[in-house]
Amino acid sequence: MKGFSKSPDLIFPLFTGDFKVKSGIKTKGILIQKLNSSMISYDQFKQRLATIRRAETKGGGGSYRNIRISGEYMLLDRESSGNQERISLRELYELYRQNEAIDTKIAGKFISGRVFSPAVAVLISAGLFDAKGKKIEKIEKVETVATVPPPPMPVRDDDELEDSNDEGRFFQALRAVIGKEDLYAKSLGKHLQAGFVTLPRQIEFADLSPALSEMMKQINLLLMKDGDAGKGTLVARLDGFVHKHPVLGTRIVEFDEEQHFTPTRKETLKLLQGHVQAAYIKDYLEICDNLDYFNNSVLPKHRVRFNLEQMPESFAAFQQMLVSENVKESGYIAQKPGFLFLGGRVAQRAYYDTLRDIAHLLPANRRLLEPIRISKFEIEKISGKKMESSSITILADAIRKVLEEKYSFVEQPEF
């Protein structure tokens, strides 16, 4: 392949630069050394990723180009859409360091935003995991001698540490409002600690009050749930958490993007109204009823390409619409455990959201308050700008307004 130097396990791009000779394999611009250990340091990890320019997903369904390192982030472009994505190198390193095998599901526990597939792809392309996602035991150290510097990042008015994905930017803005000491979020590199909250994927009705137990049975029927929704816990999938904050207390924090406002979610929210006194429910029901938002934001997020003249009356009606329109299955509407039908992921998401909604009512979470939910929709409505074009300061002002109006938030004076 022109422009690349091949090794048995890897393909490295060639860079201009002088030769250096040590004990190892000599290549123009880079030096490769065999390591006895399968673990490399963060700096070595970062150098290794700097050699990648292209990557493909495990199944070959997606490819990424123009991969480069900028500070503590990896930047890449999706070939299918041309969209630029950003992945935290610290999160990538933890994904590499803590796992003997990886896939997108495991990546979701470490990587913020919706960049799980490219995260897996670049670690495989870097030769840290094989094509099946298994960690490679004997890896190679790559020392970059001379490389072409990455293109400069676009300069914004403020906030140099902005993240390119909406979830990461939301939590950076939230941190600016409430402080960093009591806020935990995967996108901030600050993971929840064991014991903060209990949130099983499959709750036992015996753990609920009779009224809540009956509500969950109704929700299971509405969502066409059949069997277990998976083993283990949802704690690693929480967007964020505040612990013993002087004003907000201890509670789950969720940032809800377009895919959370479906007919499915509307049905669960309507049932929740009589059981959960949460500030977001009324506004979330209104968003779920917004036909323009549904057609122009929610459906495209699910990779669904038709528009509706009126909102579906129920999840069952929406699911039948997906089938009748012969919608191509994507990750947003794929079958999932307990929801083995087209649109299963939509139902699973509403089910998991409901578990987060009632987490504070579980006996194991007696000190937990009701969750804080803030939607992308309301942030953009308040700011008058798209999130991706808003500075952290603008996002923080919008978040502050929501917290003041719905959660009685008052900023603490600094001493």
What are the C-alpha distances in Å from 205 to residues 223, 362, 363, 365? 17, 10, 12, 15
**Per-residue pLDDT tens digits for 8-61:** 333 333 333 333 333 333 333 433 344 334 578 888 999 999 989 999 886 666
Going by C-alpha positions, the residue among 254, 268, 278 that lies closest to residue 225 is 268
pLDDT at residue number 61: 65
Going by C-alpha positions, the residue among 18, 14, 17 that lies closest to residue 4 is 14
pLDDT at residue number 260: 96
pLDDT at residue number 29: 40
pLDDT at residue number 353: 96
When pLDDT is averaged across residues 139-168 and rounded to a whole number, the result is 50
**Per-residue pLDDT tens digits for 374-384:** 999 999 999 99
Query: What is the average pLDDT score of the chain?
Result: 82
Confidence of residue 200 (pLDDT cuts 50, 70, 90): confident
Q: How far apart are CA 79 and CA 238, in angstroms?
A: 30
When pLDDT is averaged across residues 336-342 and rounded to a whole number, the result is 91
**Greatest Cα pair distance in the chain:** 74
| 145: its two tokens | 């001698």
Encode 263-297: b = buried (16+ Cβ within 10 Å), e = exposed: bbbbbbbebbeebbebbbbebbbebbeeeebbbeb
Does residue 148 surpass a pLDDT of 60? no
Residue carrying structure tokens 């050699």: 51
Pick 398 or 324 by higher pLDDT. Answer: 398
Burial of 326 (0-12, 13-18, 19+ CB in 10 A): exposed
Terminal-residue alpha carbon distance, the chain:
62
pTM score, whole prediction: 0.66
Going by C-alpha positions, the residue among 122, 116, 105, 355 that lies closest to residue 252 is 355
Does residue 86 surpass a pLDDT of 60? yes
Q: Is 124 helix (H, G, I), strand (E, B) or coil?
A: helix
What are the C-alpha distances in Å from 109 to residues 99, 187, 191, 213, 237? 11, 10, 10, 29, 6
**Which of 103-107, 254-258, 310-314, 335-339 has the largest mean confidence?**
254-258
Pairing of strands 249-256, 372-375: parallel
Confidence of residue 414 (pLDDT cuts 50, 70, 90): low
Does residue 325 surpass a pLDDT of 70? yes
pLDDT at residue number 59: 65
When pLDDT is averaged across residues 289-306 and rounded to a whole number, the result is 92
Q: How far apart are CA 140 and CA 11, in angstroms?
A: 12
Order of strands, edge to edge, in the sheet holding 372-375? 183-185, 240-245, 249-256, 372-375
Span of 85-89, 96-100, 376-380 with lowest mean pLDDT: 85-89
Residue carrying structure tokens 């250990």: 37
Whole-angstrom Cα Rg for the chain = 23
% of the chain with per-residue pLDDT over 70: 82
**Per-residue pLDDT tens digits for 217-259:** 999 999 999 887 777 788 888 999 999 999 999 999 999 999 9
Q: Which residues fall within 8 angstroms of residue 41, CB to CB, at 6 or more apart?
A: none
